[in-house]
Structure 1
Amino acid sequence: MSSLLSDLRVRLGVCVLALGVVGGLGVVTHAKAPVTRGEGVDEPTRTVVNRTAMACPVPGAGGKVESWVNAVSPSLPDGTPVAAGDSTPLTIAPLSATSDPVGSVLARGKIASTARTPKLETLSIRGTGPLAAGTAATSTTVGEEGVNRGMASVPCQVPGSDFWFVGASGAAGRRDVLVLTNLDSINAEVNVTFYAANGVQDVQNARGVVVPAHGTAEIYLGQVVKLPDLALHVVSSGGRVAPAVRDNASSGKSPAGVDWLNASTQPALKVTVPALAGGSGVRILTVVNPGDLQASATLTINGPNGPFKPADLSTMQIPAGSTKVIRLEGALKKYASAITVTSDQPVTAATRMTNSAVTEFSTLGATDPLRGPAYVVLPPHDQPVVLQVTAPGESAAVRFELRDATDKVVQTRSLDVVGGATNVITFKPQTKPTYLMVEQLRGDVVAGATLMPPAKPESSDIPLVAAWPLTTSLVFRAQLGAQPDTKAALN
């Protein structure tokens, strides 16, 4: 046998036969092209959502307050599949596994609301079945006096393992608290990395933080990092958490507002913060560069008439592992706008905006462009809510719908958005909760909704400032991972 294989002609014949067998196998099995996820591809295989869990945080004790949750399983775009089975209600309840529900989402499109209560208790929204897909909810608290005077309103958070919050503070005049909520039946463990203007902070007390099952844990920033202009990277090393950063501000001995820091998107070479409200007041941008190299970044304002780079603010250097703060009110000239930051190193960002009297505020973080319908539940409001839609790149198109608590369409429209510009749509005051849908039709768009007090409020009015991001709703879950490539044998 060895003498046969030593013959060049025989060896060549064996190779040809082997190739024929492999080639035949490819024909017989009809091997499909591999399913891979190349760089920049964000459309993996999708499966319908059939389970939901969300955490709805509340402020800390202080003053006379009313707190409530509005939730909806929204009407989905035509043709969107949902899970099979009966429409089992979604329950709204305190965190304890043995707690009785305080509300229920009973039917798609109908907003469920809990009773307004002075009791400040974190609530969860849970359920399985057809109503799970797209579920959106908002936790709102309004205070008449004390440290919680104003409005704190934030979308309820889906648990995860990696979050960014930008624009926090542990300095005097702020009382920021990182609230970690665990909806699961096992403990979670969390590590928090802090970034400040002078670099990464070594905070041992923020490593290995245990969040009990069906419970919460809190980190008071002023006790661990007594610095302003912070960014927080919250990473779960075991289990899932739904984090939120509560912010009580003060000016001397006077309260200066309460709200939650909306989460920011993951660091990237280009990020956009939507929906800086028009009008007077403070407008602040905070950018964090978490990398090991200095970042050189440019700033673009996406205003109603298109993009422009403010001459004195267009370029900034952000040291490695640091944050940088820019005041924007002069450059914005009271126009409703978005801010795009383009950098040679991955960064993320957030903005802070106040009313003209600087007695109330809200924040918005950088958001990803929409890749599906986005929903947000709006609590009742005595002033108009403004939807701001921005096309940070090329021209784009969107469709929006505002629906009332019974799922009746109140206002709808499709519109084109000029590249680099911000479009503004105003919704009238509403005595009952509504929910808003924004759907990307073409191009990249980011969006947010804002609430500001009137230009000349009555002295007795409670200042109400709020901002709600619009992010792609959880209608589908990604199924990652590539199938085996049987054609690799032919290469």
Structure 2
Amino acid sequence: MKRAPLTLAAAAAALAALTGMAALTAPDGTAATGAAPAAARRPVERSALVCPSPSGSDIAETAYTAVTPAGGARGVGGQGAARLVGATKEQKQVLELKEAGKPVGATASGAEAPALTGTADGALAPGWTAQQTTKVSVGQARGLLGLACTPPGTDFWFPGTATSQGRQDYVHLTNADDSPAVVDIELFGPEGRAKTEQGSGENIRVGPRSSVRVLLSTLTSEQLPDVTTHVTTRSGRVGASAQVMEDGVGADWLPASADPAGSLVLPGIPADATSVRLIAHAPGEEDADLRIKLAGPGGSISPAGSEQLHVKGGMTASLDLKDVTRGEPGSLVLTPADPGKSVPVVAAVRVVRGTGAKQELGFVPAAGPVGARATNADNRTDQGATTLSLTAVGTDAKVRVTASAGTQGGEPASQEYTVKAGTTMAAVPPPVPGGGGKGPYALTVETLSGGPVHAARTLSLPHEGILFFTVQPLTDDRGTVSVPEASQDLTVLDDDRNRTGRE
């Protein structure tokens, strides 16, 4: 027993000597000052994405495109790998990315195309992005259904779903992991949580590397035209997306809204929208009063007769904004009516282009800003097919937009834009690959100064007199993470000595 204090003291002294040596031989050649260095931004070294099963239609034609933006992996060793595989036991590979800055593509036909899961590591992880775009020519699901594949998570909000007659809305749940996930689905209408059969929507099991599709109208007997769907996991994590099919109007994916917040931006409402319907939900118990503004090319305006929306706590509210854009592209900006009272909400807009039998449906969810960099993987060189909307909130902003090479060659091309505060700029058309590039290409938006900037890409493909379209927001790709720098703390050794003495 008498030897123990001596041994611990000796160990402490040796550790102190080693710590001092580490300080003297720090990589940057400087001695430690005792102050902890600031956290540094480092490229991520692994990314995961999930894509839902694209369609239940036998005539569906789906294009997959994936890309990692060039120049985002400085300091990451190795070439890396990025693959998308079927979310099935066989895990059949669908596409493989081999080089940053050069997108790759694949196609699938019919109703048997599975959900996909994938990972990217090494130099191909920072900013890895994938997109699936599906065209269905006829039937209830006809239209252009586009979706950016998403990282798996545990909590998702989908304002804009429905359980009413004429709508078939599904939530797709895809498990990318090797262990099962257990999921709950809640529905919230204008009177609060929808009545469901006991146990309905609870404990939904999603097996390892598999996908489950849930028809929302089977969870409740209530016919609700405006519903907010909340997806949470009890265990594990999943990718979640909502698919909407509306009789006589069209179909599209509804991505999850940005996390609940007091102020939201819904970017990229097309200039020729004939119907715009806002759906919002306040997840907590407090009511939210929202001021509504449309940020257009000339500035921000309050839509006449639709300046505010009251959302009761725990309930879903909606507002028909009709043809609010009136021939000019815009983004909805929601802020607290009382700046001193900010209540978190989630929101999305249902957008219709065309009239009568030539209508087509799309959705624009509330979305986060571009941040340092954001990418959309699937854009087309056909004239007018791709348009990009840029909205500056708060201050003027300068951004760089880069078109990658196409999947069939070409060279990247860039252009810079200055977006005035409170306005939406429609970059028509955005840059396209140089050098005769062909095939789908990626668009990357980088914030150079000012901001924040919110962006969305609209893809429009005419079909037999109907303008099929889909809108995808571009949000921060989180290609970097904050990594704290380690520093020496010799007080730990002092504590060890004091504790040893007390023993």
Structure 2-normalised TM-score?
Answer: 0.81
Query: Tell me, what secondary structure is at the counterpart of 2:274?
Result: coil
Shifted more, 272-281 versus 405-414: the winner is: 405-414
Q: Tell me which residue corresponds to 1:337.
A: 330
- 2:379, 2:459 within 8 Å by CA — same for their partners in 1? no
Q: Tell me which residue corresponds to 2:442.
A: 435
Q: Tell me which residue corresponds to 1:224.
A: 219
Amino acid at match of 2:353: N
CA displacement at 1:138 relative to structure 2:
0.5
CA displacement at 1:420 relative to structure 2:
0.5
CA displacement at 1:97 relative to structure 2:
4.9
Q: 1:220 to 1:381 in 2, by over 3 A?
A: farther
Q: Tell me which residue corresponds to 1:351.
A: 349
Q: Tell me which residue corresponds to 1:376.
A: 376
CA displacement at 1:241 relative to structure 2:
0.6
Q: Tell me which residue corresponds to 2:173.
A: 180
CA displacement at 1:482 relative to structure 2:
11
User: Equivalents in 2 of 1:289, 1:134: separation in Å?
Assistant: 31
Query: Tell me, what secondary structure is at the counterpart of 1:163?
Result: strand
Deviations 1:310-344 (A, max 9, x none): 23111221111111212223432122000111123
User: Equivalents in 1 of 2:122, 2:354: separation in Å?
Assistant: 46
Query: Tell me, what secondary structure is at the counterpart of 1:222?
Result: helix
CA displacement at 1:68 relative to structure 2:
2.6
Q: Tell me which residue corresponds to 1:193.
A: 186
Q: Tell me which residue corresponds to 2:11.
A: none
Q: Tell me which residue corresponds to 1:417.
A: 419
Q: Tell me which residue corresponds to 1:396.
A: 397
Query: What does 1:239-254 correspond to in 2, within 5 Å?
Result: 239-251=236-248
Q: Tell me which residue corresponds to 2:81.
A: 89
Q: Tell me which residue corresponds to 1:446.
A: 454
Structure 1-normalised TM-score?
Answer: 0.83
Q: Tell me which residue corresponds to 1:16.
A: none
Q: 1:319 to 1:213 in 2, by over 3 A?
A: same
CA displacement at 1:359 relative to structure 2:
2.6
User: Equivalents in 2 of 1:481, 1:289: separation in Å?
Assistant: 39
CA displacement at 1:386 relative to structure 2:
1.1
Q: Tell me which residue corresponds to 1:238.
A: 235
Amino acid at match of 1:446: H
Q: 1:278 to 1:29 in 2, by over 3 A?
A: closer
Q: Tell me which residue corresponds to 2:119.
A: 126
Amino acid at match of 2:230: H
Q: 1:61 to 1:369 in 2, by over 3 A?
A: closer
Query: What does 1:315-334 correspond to in 2, within 5 Å?
Result: 315-334=308-327
CA displacement at 1:63 relative to structure 2:
4.4
Deviations 1:57-96 (A, max 9, x none): 234422412123111122135xx525212x2432222113
Deviations 1:337-375 (A, max 9, x none): 001111231112111212212632111211112221100
Shifted more, 239-248 versus 65-74: the winner is: 65-74
Question: Identity across aligned pairs (percent)?
Answer: 26
Q: 1:453 to 1:144 in 2, by over 3 A?
A: closer
Amino acid at match of 1:243: A
Query: Tell me, what secondary structure is at the counterpart of 1:328?
Result: strand
Count of residues in correspondence between the two structures: 443
CA displacement at 1:299 relative to structure 2:
0.6
Q: 1:46 to 1:62 in 2, by over 3 A?
A: same
Query: Tell me, what secondary structure is at the counterpart of 2:426?
Result: strand
User: Equivalents in 1 of 2:185, 2:75: separation in Å?
Assistant: 36
- 1:144 matched to 2:141? The reply is no
Query: What does 1:35-114 correspond to in 2, within 5 Å?
Result: 46-76=41-71, 81-85=74-78, 87-114=79-106
- 2:102, 2:404 within 8 Å by CA — same for their partners in 1? no
User: Equivalents in 1 of 2:99, 2:416: separation in Å?
Assistant: 27
User: Equivalents in 1 of 2:214, 2:194: separation in Å?
Assistant: 15
CA displacement at 1:243 relative to structure 2:
0.4
How much is the aligned-residue C-alpha RMSD, in angstroms?
2.8
CA displacement at 1:143 relative to structure 2:
1.2
Query: What does 1:132-171 correspond to in 2, within 5 Å?
Result: 132-171=125-164
Q: Tell me which residue corresponds to 1:19.
A: none
Query: Tell me, what secondary structure is at the counterpart of 2:93?
Result: coil
- 1:179, 1:218 within 8 Å by CA — same for their partners in 2? yes
Deviations 1:400-455 (A, max 9, x none): 1122325745642212111100011123799620100011122211000113456x
User: Equivalents in 2 of 1:145, 1:431: separation in Å?
Assistant: 28
Q: 1:100 to 1:293 in 2, by over 3 A?
A: closer
User: Where do 5+ consecutive residues of structure 1 fail to align?
Assistant: 1-27, 36-43
Deviations 1:113-147 (A, max 9, x none): 11342242212222322112111110111112222
User: Equivalents in 1 of 2:306, 2:215: separation in Å?
Assistant: 33
Query: What does 1:270-349 correspond to in 2, within 5 Å?
Result: 270-343=263-336, 344-349=342-347
- 2:354, 2:466 within 8 Å by CA — same for their partners in 1? no
- 1:268, 1:347 within 8 Å by CA — same for their partners in 2? yes
User: Equivalents in 2 of 1:452, 1:74: separation in Å?
Assistant: 24
